[in-house]
Amino acid sequence: MLSDPELTRILNEKAKRLAAQASQSPEAIVRLTTSDFDSKINGDKPVFVDFWAVWCGPCRTMEPVVERLAAKYSGKMLFGKLNVDEESELATRYEVQSIPTFMVFKNGQPVDATIGAVGEAALDRLIQKSLGSGTPIYR
């Protein structure tokens, strides 16, 4: 086994930075389930929902993008992840047929959505548009 004190120091510093970042925004992205979904989307803030699955490569590609946007819009919007394999009834309810699907809810209603690994700029535009006045996309 190799022992490099400099590498150990660097890894320890990085672990401390990551822990500090995580503690600064403990609820940056919440895990959404059937039991809390309706209460979360009916809150006082708009809600950005990432419909995803563990096995989905594009979902994993978009994960750091969603994390950056959650940090950027902290306090203005709630960010949640919904695993479509574990919460299939919610995916069906909102007609999610492809993942990743990103949907924004206001007052319990979806107001906008996009599908696929669309990139950070496209999701940022979706969020900015949704923070304005949006009308429901489903009735």
Q: pLDDT tens across 80-101, in order? A: 999 999 999 999 999 999 999 9
Residue 9 lies in a domain: no
Name the band, by pLDDT with cuts 50, 70 and 90, for residue 132.
Answer: confident
Note the pTM of the prediction, 2 decimals. Answer: 0.76
Residue 6 lies in a domain: no
Show the tokens assigned to 122.
């496209």
Residue 15 lies in a domain: no
Residue 57 structural domain = 27-131
Total length of the chain: 139
The per-residue DSSP string of 101-136 comes to EEEEEETTEEEEEEES---HHHHHHHHHHHHS----
Mean pLDDT, all residues of the chain = 86
Helix or strand or coil: residue 33?
coil
CATH number at residue 59: 3.40.30.10
Name the band, by pLDDT with cuts 50, 70 and 90, for residue 13.
Answer: confident
**Whole-angstrom Cα distance, residue 124 to residue 48?**
11
Asked whether the beta carbons of 90 and 37 are under 8 A apart, the reply is yes
Judge whether residue 137 has pLDDT over 80: no
Q: What amino acid positions are annotated as catalytic residues?
A: 56, 59
Q: pLDDT tens across 33-59, in order? A: 999 999 999 988 999 999 999 999 999
